[in-house]
Amino acid sequence: MTETIGLEVIAVNGPGVLHQLTGVIARHEGDITSVAILASTTDEARIYFEIQLPGEVDRLKADLAGLAVVKQADLTNTMQRIFGKRIIIIGGGAQVGQVAIGAISEADRHNIRGEHISVDTIPLVGEKPLAEAVRAVARLPRAKAVVLAGSLMGGEIEKAVREVREQGLLVVSLNMAGSVPEAADLVVSDPVQAGVMTVMAVADTAKFTVDRLKRRVF
């Protein structure tokens, strides 16, 4: 039976180390779904893998530990299991804070019922930094939705919104000036309610689907 595991490896830092680690994982028919270098110094690196593994975990750990470059290999819970789906709130500080109040309160309600939803915030100003941040959300592991919280957004930010929506990311916007609300999946005037509705949209324990809404502005 295939299971998804988390594995943290402390290894000697140097060229070809990642190749050796992934080679062992491949021999065990492990499918790497996520990899991140958590820390890197001159002497060693901490590398985290999430792996769909059809075989025995202990055998994989033993073979990894047998490599000369490996100092330690530990089994961990996956990030999906601990932090789950991610919602990213981007924009002006005051609006970001209000959206976060709604999102965190609603996430708590669903997490008590077995969900794992986490909320991240980053207050930003300026068209270019905001556009770059929106595009970057699509590259974040486990990110399911982004909320744009501000008073005026358009131009390059609108282009970024359309790009990440094509990649499957849910985009919620406050009802603001500019063209971003026209490009978003959902537009909500009240920032607290925007946070609540975003969590409801990504939660498996909620009976709410954006695609079934008859209108998209609230």
Q: What is the pLDDT of residues 25-81, one digit of tens each?
A: 999 999 999 888 888 888 889 999 999 988 788 899 999 988 999 998 989 888 888
CATH of the domain at 103: 3.40.50.10550
DSSP H/E element including 74: strand 70-76
Q: Across all residues in the chain, what is the average pLDDT?
A: 90
Same domain assignment for residues 53 and 106: no
* Tally of structural domains, the chain: 2
Q: Using CA atoms, how far apart are residues 50 and 66, in angstroms rounded to an integer?
A: 20
Q: Tell me: pLDDT of 210 over 80.
A: no
User: Beta strand pairing status for 186-188 and 170-174?
Assistant: parallel
* pLDDT score for 217: 78
Pair 105, 193 in one domain: yes
Residue 95 within a domain: yes
CATH number of the CATH domain containing 12? 3.30.70.260
pLDDT tens column, 143-200: 999 999 988 999 999 999 999 999 999 999 999 999 999 999 999 999 999 999 999 9
**The predicted structure's pLDDT at residue 136:** 93
Contact yes or no for 99/40 (Cβ under 8 A)? no
**Confidence (pTM):** 0.81
Shared domain for 88 and 75, answered yes or no, is no
Whether 1 has a pLDDT exceeding 80, the answer reads no
**How open is the CA angle 42-43-44, to the nearest 5 degrees?**
105
Query: Which H, E and C letters describe 1-70, residue by residue?
Result: CCEEEEEEEEEECCCCHHHHHHHHHHHCCCEEEEEEEEEECCCEEEEEEEEEECCCHHHHHHHHHCCCCE
- β-bridge pairing 31-40 and 70-76: unpaired
**Could you tell me the residue range of the domain that residue 121 belongs to?**
83-212
Domain end marker among 80, 114, 129:
80
Q: Are residues 132 and 203 in the same domain?
A: yes
- The crossing angle, in degrees rounded to 10, of helices 93-112 and 191-202 is 40
Task: Classify 93 as helix, strand or coil.
Answer: helix
55 lies in some domain:
yes
